[in-house]
Structure 1
Amino acid sequence: MALYLRILLLALLHLTGGLKLFVHSPQKALLGSDVLLHCNFSVTRPPVDLKFLAILWKYQENQILRYDSKDLYHQPRVSFNEQDARNGIASISLSNVTIKDGGMYKCFVIYSPDSKDEVVNLDILVPPMIQIPSKRVHKFEKKTLLCSVIGFHPPDIDITWFRDGEVLVDSIFSKKQRNDDGTYSVNSSVTIMPDHNYKNQTFSCRVQHEALREPLEENFQLLYEGQTRSRILVIIVIIGVSVFLVLLVFLTWFFKTPRCRKSWSKGNQFIPLFYFCLLSARRAR
């Protein structure tokens, strides 16, 4: 009787295998890349007997893979190596991941009559881009510098302003906007009063995000429009005043000169004023 119970116990241990499941979660993948969702299992008495094994994967309660000794089913962009199952590997590969692929996956391993399941969370990373819409300023006029950070995922992000390496602490953040493609955008701004001290200084918008291996930074210098426009305006005014004074002097001389005034009163053709005067002077000779 004792020998019979011992044999029965050994048979049960072989069937159940003392199943254990190991996963790596959360996992992260860049948009458009391929990712391996890790799920490994072990049994007490290897090797794995495929007759008792079944593997299932679900994404948000939708089955994306099913494997047993008789059949293999998987959705597009999902792949599974059947040979790995003999070595206790139930991992699957997702190709060309999108933002919609992010979320909760569940790995089920059945080693009859035992079963285990574990959750694997996948985060899709999309690196941000920086845009500085305007760098033009007017001297002694307040200017709000804007740093637009677009197209990133997940939404957590850090933006810092610098002026010649020193942190500008009065920056303001707008509310994050979710884009149609699932990414996010946000604006950061800082208000300054441009003066001669800012002319050669470098402003920087630095972004830190988990999709970046190192911070992303956009450096720029202010473009002073006020000085150029003022100089152009001064030149225009000087030219205008000069032309006016020359014309005034000429007209004063013209109408005070009897010959010019007389030729003007008798002129019946469309001839410039100075030509009337010159023609009259020649005739007088």
Structure 2
Amino acid sequence: MENRYSFGGDEHIFVEVNEEMSLEAFFKSLSITSAVKEAEIKGVTEICPANASFQIKFDPDVIHPDDMLKELKSLEVAAEKAESRIATRIVEVPVFYQDPWTHETLMRFRERHQDPSATDIEYAARINGYDTVDKFIEAHSGAPWFVSMVGFVSGLPFLYQMVERARQIEVPKYLRPRTDTPRLTVGIGGCFGCIYSVRGAGGYQMFGITPMPIFDPNQEINYLSDFMVFFKPGDIVKWKPIGREEYDEAVAQVEANTFTPRTHDVTFDLGEFEKDIDGYNAKLMEGLYGN
């Protein structure tokens, strides 16, 4: 579809790149927002990329809304011709699946769930065609996930599974949102994974918890000292299943401020990825683990 532009009051332009989420739509959104940043258009105050759209905030006293619209449309043409390559990083995120804290929480809210007789991960495994929870965990953690946007709650990443669409895990959100979700819960709503950066309400299915903080407004955590939010759009996440002992060890390291996430810088090429998804993912993991 062609980009769909709409004004949000006097100081916002919202641009819908596609009605469906896809890596192609994300890359188009990222290319245009990057072009806006590089163009240094006078009056632009905020650039907010999302899953398959983006929003630009501007000062209408500096640039007229119609002129801002013209600037964006002119950048769209150039952005569409840009290569679908980005310099990014792979991040290993440890996950304690079926942990006691998310389990206690989900059991308090069974009346809001599609299947009150099952846990969130049991329900997700069943509706996605997996015979056991272990096989579901293998599918969830086996392939990397792309950070398509960060927001809604400060520091919360939205994650898109890097497999063929037919293999993507999809799970509906709770019938009614919970009033509580443990901090650093890992889960899925629709086709998007997430990590809850803070404790609060939520509707995503809960599968586990990570010991790795991803948001620190005080910037006291060693790897968040430069910026309070860990993830940025374009990051690639690889889940690492861990048990209770490894989880406790990681928590102790976080408390001692010695925990450091495993990361590896890469250049991601969408065209090469689409030629051989599983093969390309394997090469990405070689860089992360040094194989």
**TM-score tier (shorter):** under 0.3
- Structure having the higher strand fraction is 1
TM-score, normalisation: structure 2: 0.20
Q: Which has the higher contact order (CA 8 A, sep 6+)?
A: 2
Q: Whose radius of gyration is greater, 1 or 2?
A: 1
TM-score, normalisation: structure 1: 0.20
